[in-house]
Amino acid sequence: MKLVRFEAGQWGVLEGETIHETDGPAGNPTGRHFDLGGVTLLAPATPTKIVCVGRNYLDHIKEMGHDAQELPKEPGLFLKGLNTLAHPANPARPDHSGDVVPYPSFTNLLHYEGELAVVIERRMRNVPEAEALDYVLGYTCALDVTARDKQKTDLQWVRAKSADKFCPLGPWLVTSLDPQNTVLRTYVNGELRQEAHTSQMIFSVAQILSYISGFMTLEPGDVVLTGTPEGVGELKRGDHVEVAIEGIGDLHTRIGH
Ligand code: MG
């Protein structure tokens, strides 16, 4: 099932090109219907926090110059501010490009990181790995926009990871997906830059969620980014980025000037 958030913040189930409005993210039908091509899509989550995993694919650890012999013993986490959420383009509406990510003046090295994102359905606290996926509302595509130069020089990653619109999310949630059995690709201006099977994650989605829930209560709507594979690289002003995950869809994002 595909869940969309649209227009004034209402939710719906997407079937073909028709949205069947519901009274919540996994709610009951309201009886109202909308054409996908006639609405504005919103980021499909209303989180209290965005929790992100760094270094979750071995080949990405290597490309960042870290020692691949020393695999992380536990997920390395950081947060992105809620100001980073950016709305997706609507694939059924070519005139609607979604939010543009402003290219901040404080950086000279903006990078893309395509990632699988998870949205939480139910409050999650101290949940064992075997039950963790039962708490997931759905899966979607995320672009973890990163000011790589500031990530290396700032004490904390606040500027590097949390400038406005640094987390495009969407275009919708898919509720039934095996998160360790899909393929993630990132394209910049139509050129393939990242391609990885999610079975290559060092920590599975279930392990990540269980780990986080052991010290931080995950609330309904919270977003977890599961790390980026090899192939990260530079974004220029005006670039078009596409994060495509098999079984979900494509998240299109434009970088500002
Ligand atoms: Mg990342």
pLDDT, tens digit, 9 for 90 and up, residues 105-125: 999 999 999 999 999 999 999
Structural domain count of the chain: 2
pLDDT for residue 232: 95
Distances in Å between the alpha carbon of 113 and those of 34, 47, 57? 32, 20, 12
Indicate whether 176 pLDDT > 90: yes
CA of 145 to the centre of ligand 1 (A): 8
Alpha-carbon distance of 39 to 77, in angstroms, equals: 35
Same domain flag for 29 and 152:
no
Same domain flag for 34 and 20:
yes
Summary count for the chain: helices (H), strands (E): 5, 20
CA of 23 to the centre of ligand 1 (A): 32
- 26-46 pLDDT, tens digit per residue, is 899 999 999 999 999 999 999
CA of 111 to the centre of ligand 1 (A): 10
Structural domain that includes position 173: 43-255
CA of 19 to the centre of ligand 1 (A): 31
Per DSSP, 201 falls in state: B
pLDDT averaged over every residue in the chain: 96
CATH of residue 25's domain is: 2.30.30.370
Alpha-carbon distance of 223 to 48, in angstroms, equals: 8
Assigned token pair, 231: 């192939």
CA of 227 to the centre of ligand 1 (A): 5
Same domain flag for 123 and 140:
yes
- The whole model's pTM is what? 0.96
Alpha-carbon distance of 168 to 89, in angstroms, equals: 10
CA of 18 to the centre of ligand 1 (A): 33
CA of 40 to the centre of ligand 1 (A): 26
Residue that wins the pLDDT comparison between 93 and 210? 210
CA of 144 to the centre of ligand 1 (A): 5
What's the pLDDT band for 183 if we cut at 50, 70, 90? very high
